[in-house]
A = this chain, B = another copy of it.
Amino acid sequence: MSDEKVDTDNSIYIGDKPFMNYVTGVVIQFTTKEAKEVIIKARGKFISRAVDIAEVASKRFMKDQIKVKDILIDSEEFQNKEGREVRVSIIEIVLTRI
């Protein structure tokens, strides 16, 4: 394993920081950190945002350099503060170099 593999997890978790923070994060992973793949991950209401970030990164900032390789959706169940079972959707968008 090469030194670059020290940073094993090229995942970017989408939350409510400014939109461009995440797009820049994707670009830095592919450029400065020379990642072969970047995985954009989000839960619940942030899923729409994750798709926006994947689209803007792959169609504008790194057009013809990266593409969407795979998209996975799933659910997580957990107990909320009142002890009720709650289901939340998750998405993982795998971006890869072209």
Q: Hey, which bits of chain A sit against chain B, CB under 8 A?
A: 44-48, 51-52, 54-56, 59, 68, 71-75, 87, 89, 91, 93
Q: Oligomeric state, in number of copies? A: 2
Q: Return chain B residues, CB-CB under 8 Å to A59.
A: 75
Report Cα–Cα, A87/B44, bound state, in Å: 22
Q: Return chain B residues, CB-CB under 8 Å to A72.
A: 71
Known: A68-B73, A73-B71. Contact between A89 and B47, CB under 8 A?
A: no
Q: Return chain B residues, CB-CB under 8 Å to A47.
A: 47-48, 51
Known: A47-B47, A48-B47. Contact between A55 and B93, CB under 8 A?
A: no
Contact of A51 among B54, B56, B89 (CB under 8 A): B89
